[in-house]
Amino acid sequence: LAAAVAAGKVRVPTHVVSSICDDRGEEPTYAGVSMSELMEREYGVGDVIALLWFKRHLPKYATKFIEMCVMLCADHGPCVSGAHNTIVTSRAGKDVVSSLVAGLLTIGPRFGGAIDDAARLFKAACDADDSPADFVEGLKRRGVRVSGIGHRIKSKDNRDKRVALLQEYARKFFPSTRYLDYAVAVEAYTLQKAPNLVLNVDGAIAAIFLDLLAASGAFSPAEAEQIVNIGYLNALFVVARSIGLVGHALDQRRLQQPLYRHPWEDVLYTS
């Protein structure tokens, strides 16, 4: 900002600084790319996310991977916290935005929010060349769970199909899968401890995204570091799940469901 002032780009410091989209010209641009260009080059939703979040073009295999994450995380049924809150709000007769928002607000440490933490852990360990055993045992000593590892229902012999699909894609199209390989090595180690300590969707997205940041040639190491620190990756889940939550809000309206009231018998009134 100081530089911009010095360069005469601004006279008085402005109150707002922004960098992702410019709406002042003939056409809005996303990181400098006009709407017409978006259409001509046959860009997709993944490219738009790349332009608005990372402010750069990413190779096709990378934007396809982003779209894959959006598609695979778009919904996971009506029972999870997010969908449940959206359903309750929609049944209270509230608008789609309010219903969506009530669901989004549940996303966090326990629901949908382990991707950034997994990325931070895998990056630090893999960059430091820690062995999977040292990595897992080190966390254990500090009383920290390995984000990206573990599942309530899935296990060694009953893998999460979404993880398999993501892995397959990365191995086929990515120039390097160093972080993914590391995550799989961690999984091999944790599976010796318990059969449900599989690499979960959050972990798979985290590891493959690290490979995208490291090997696509589009990011400097400092930029990759910054993205992982700020936490861009859970945001993928947030945007993805918005699609499903809106779907649930509209579904309840279509089904004309009445006001939800939790049954008294299912509550323990305690002190």
Ligand X SMILES: CC(C)(COP(=O)(O)OP(=O)(O)OC[C@H]1O[C@@H](n2cnc3c(N)ncnc32)[C@H](O)[C@@H]1OP(=O)(O)O)[C@@H](O)C(=O)NCCC(=O)NCCS
* Contacts with ligand X, residue ranges (CB under 6 A): 114, 145-152, 194, 196-197, 200-202
At 94 the three-state DSSP class reads coil
Closest approach of ligand X to the CB of residue 87, in Å: 19
Of 59 and 247, nearer to a second copy (C-beta) is 247
Total interface residues for a second copy by CB under 8 A: 113
Told to check if 268 binds a second copy by CB under 8 A, we report yes
Of 103 and 150, nearer to ligand X (C-beta) is 150
Within its chain, how far is the Cα of 82 from the centroid? 15
Told to check if 170 binds a second copy by CB under 8 A, we report no
Told to check if 225 binds a second copy by CB under 8 A, we report no
Told to check if 133 binds a second copy by CB under 8 A, we report no
Told to check if 169 binds a second copy by CB under 8 A, we report yes
Q: Give exposure, 89-117, as e/b (b: 16+ Cβ within 10 Å).
A: bbbeebeeeebbbbbbebbeeeebbbbbb
Told to check if 88 binds a second copy by CB under 8 A, we report yes
With CA atoms as reference, report the closest residue to 76 among 197, 248, 210: 248
Could you say which of 104, 185, 191, 218 contacts a second copy (CB under 8 A)?
104
Told to check if 55 binds a second copy by CB under 8 A, we report yes
- Other C-beta atoms closer than 10 Å to the C-beta of 11 total 7
Closest approach of ligand X to the CB of residue 171, in Å: 21
Told to check if 108 binds a second copy by CB under 8 A, we report yes
Which amino acid appears at position 51 of this protein?
L
Closest approach of ligand X to the CB of residue 150, in Å: 2
Q: How far is CA 219 from CA 17, 58, 212, 228, in A?
A: 23, 10, 9, 12
Closest approach of a second copy to the CB of residue 172, in Å: 11
Residue written as tokens 């696509």? 216
Told to check if 155 binds a second copy by CB under 8 A, we report no
Question: What are the φ/ψ torsions at residue 47 (nearest 5 degrees)?
Answer: -65, -40
In DSSP notation, 68-79 reads: HHHHHTS---SS
Closest approach of a second copy to the CB of residue 62, in Å: 15
Told to check if 74 binds a second copy by CB under 8 A, we report yes
Which amino acid appears at position 113 of this protein?
G
Q: Which does 221 bind (CB under 5 to 8 A by kind): a second copy, ligand X, none?
A: none
Of 58 and 207, nearer to ligand X (C-beta) is 207
Told to check if 61 binds a second copy by CB under 8 A, we report no
Q: Give exposure, 194-228, as e/b (b: 16+ Cβ within 10 Å).
A: eebbbbbbbbbbbbbbbbbbbbbebbeeeebeebb
| Rounded-to-integer distance, Cα 132 and Cα 34, Å | 45
Closest approach of a second copy to the CB of residue 29, in Å: 9
Closest approach of a second copy to the CB of residue 99, in Å: 8
| Runs of H (alpha helix) within 58-173 | 60-72, 81-91, 96-104, 115-127, 132-141, 161-173
Of 44 and 155, nearer to ligand X (C-beta) is 155
